[in-house]
Structure 1
Amino acid sequence: MKIFENIINHKINTITADELLKYADQFNIVINRQQAAKISAYLRGKNINIFDNTQRTQIVREIAKVAGPETAREVNKLFMSFTK
């Protein structure tokens, strides 16, 4: 399982706005291009482990500051779907 966690975390840490929009569309999450750009810029290069509840919660809080609380909730749903 560790290899899948590494792959998913790597993708989160290197995601682009276009990729984030693609995933959002796939999982029926509504975000616009500007929000996707801000979120991906924040995530890129942070070495985040979304399987760690503390880190994931902190990231969701930061996303709420950047893109709003509703978007943060939606992104958290996306993260949760990746971790299952």
Structure 2
Amino acid sequence: MGVILFQKIVLQRLNQVTADEVLKYAKQYGIHVTRKQALEVEKLVNGKNINIFNEKERNKLLSQVEAVTSKEAVQLLNQLFEQYVSRG
């Protein structure tokens, strides 16, 4: 799969994430997130076209997510983002 196509798929998926998916992924990766926090994360990313492959945009998003979740959650989220960024 081409790099550009991979990035587009990842970004589209992030752009459409729901609170239920946030909760599912959080559980899958051992991150404690409440329903309220998941809804806040959904509001932060859904429809915003945030480019996690751009370091400045990714760091801004991580700061916003930390404000509504926890430092631990953001550290794990950043690790997940890094996996995608290193592939793309």
TM bin (shorter chain): 0.7 to 0.9
Q: TM-score, normalised by structure 2?
A: 0.82
The answer to whether the 8 A contact 1:27-1:78 is kept is no
Q: TM-score, normalised by structure 1?
A: 0.85
Q: Where does structure 1 differ by over 4 angstroms across 4 or more consecutive aligned residues?
A: none
Q: Secondary structure of the equivalent of 2:84?
A: helix
- Counterparts of 2:83 and 2:29 in 1: how far apart (Å)? 9
Q: Which has the larger radius of gyration?
A: 2
- 1:78 matched to 2:86: no
- Counterparts of 1:38 and 1:13 in 2: how far apart (Å)? 14
Q: Report percent identity of matched pairs.
A: 35
What is the identity, as a one-letter code, of the residue corresponding to 1:41? K
Q: Which consecutive residues of structure 2, in runs of 5 or more, have no partner in the other structure?
A: none
